[in-house]
Chain A
Amino acid sequence: AQSVSQHNHHVILSEAASLELGCNYSYGGTVNLFWYVQYPGQHLQLLLKYFSGDPLVKGIKGFEAEFIKSKFSFNLRKPSVQWSDTAEYFCAVGKGSYIPTFGRGTSLIVHP
């Protein structure tokens, strides 16, 4: 079965630390890749997405993600986190017209 893995379930960082959240998937071929974020008390919202082209994609709030096809990965990064980045982060992966499958999420806590 196709799956999406987010290995880090809980991450705790201090402000200004660098962030990398892992996302791996089991799909072959061309994929659609997303990172969504849910800030405390808010709705899920899109951070960034990738379908084709430059494998390094920029999103909102200084986030970026790199698609590495050979590793079936789409890791999320931010060079310097802020307290306001505290949130749940969800990777989602799909193929073609099919609805993407979400990973179980990573809870990020940033200490001021």
Chain B
Amino acid sequence: GAGVSQTPSNKVTEKGKYVELRCDPISGHTALYWYRQSLGQGPEFLIYFQGTGAADDSGLPNDRFFAVRPEGSVSTLKIQRTERGDSAVYLCASSLTGGGQETQYFGPGTRLLVL
């Protein structure tokens, strides 16, 4: 079956603009995760959804970052008033039911560049 997909694959924006990044998880996976990966670093946890609700949003760096998953499938990560420091690869992953022991299936990421 299809894996996790993310769109766009690349996004270039200007400082101060608003961006939306989309994640389409594996069908049937109830858990969805967003990560941010800067150059030379590992994935940094942002938020975890269990169904439609955010089970853990402790990784969101500030209130400019917000994510939704209204129907428990597709998720959108929204970044307001982008800053140059937001430039990174944003990764999405999904897993069957969620929790600390599950294998996460990652998407290809969206490379965000803020000029």
Interface residues of A (CB under 8 A from B): 4, 6, 9, 32, 34, 36, 43-46, 49, 51, 90, 92, 94-105
Q: Which residue of B lies closest to A41 (CB)?
A: B108
Pick from A36, A100, A103: contact of B100, CB below 8 A: A100
Q: CB distance A43 to B103 under 8 Å?
A: no
Answer yes or no: B44 CB below 8 A from chain A CBs: yes
The number of A-B residue pairs with CB atoms under 8 Å apart is 54
From known contacts A43-B107, A99-B48, A99-B56, infer whether A90 and B100 are also in contact, taking CB-CB under 8 Å. Answer: no
Q: CB distance A97 to B43 under 8 Å?
A: no
For the complex, what is the distance from the CA of A106 to the CA of B56, rounded to whole Å? Answer: 27
Q: Which 5 A-B pairs have the closest CB atoms?
A: A102-B42, A44-B106, A94-B100, A43-B106, A102-B43
Which B residues are CB-close (under 8 A) to A43?
3-4, 105-109
Q: CB distance B42 to A90 under 8 Å?
A: yes
For the complex, what is the distance from the CA of A102 to the CA of B104, rounded to whole Å? Answer: 12
For the complex, what is the distance from the CA of A103 to the CA of B41, rounded to whole Å? Answer: 8
**Given known contacts A43-B105, A99-B45, A104-B40, what 19 new A-B pairs fall within 8 Å (CB)?**
A9-B40, A32-B101, A34-B103, A43-B109, A44-B91, A44-B106, A45-B106, A46-B103, A49-B101, A90-B43, A95-B100, A98-B56, A99-B33, A99-B56, A101-B45, A102-B43, A102-B44, A102-B45, A105-B41
Of residues B3, B44, B45, B101, which shows the largest number of chain A Cβ atoms within 10 Å of its Cβ?
Answer: B101
Least Cβ distance of B20 to chain A in Å?
Answer: 21
Which A residues are CB-close (under 8 A) to B41?
104-105
Which B residues are CB-close (under 8 A) to A101?
45
Task: Show 28 residue pairs from A and B whose CB-CB distance is below 8 angstroms, ordered by the A residue.
Answer: A4-B42, A36-B106, A43-B3, A43-B106, A43-B107, A44-B43, A44-B93, A44-B106, A45-B105, A45-B106, A46-B103, A46-B104, A90-B42, A92-B42, A94-B100, A96-B100, A97-B99, A97-B100, A98-B56, A98-B100, A99-B45, A99-B56, A100-B100, A102-B35, A102-B43, A102-B45, A103-B42, A104-B42
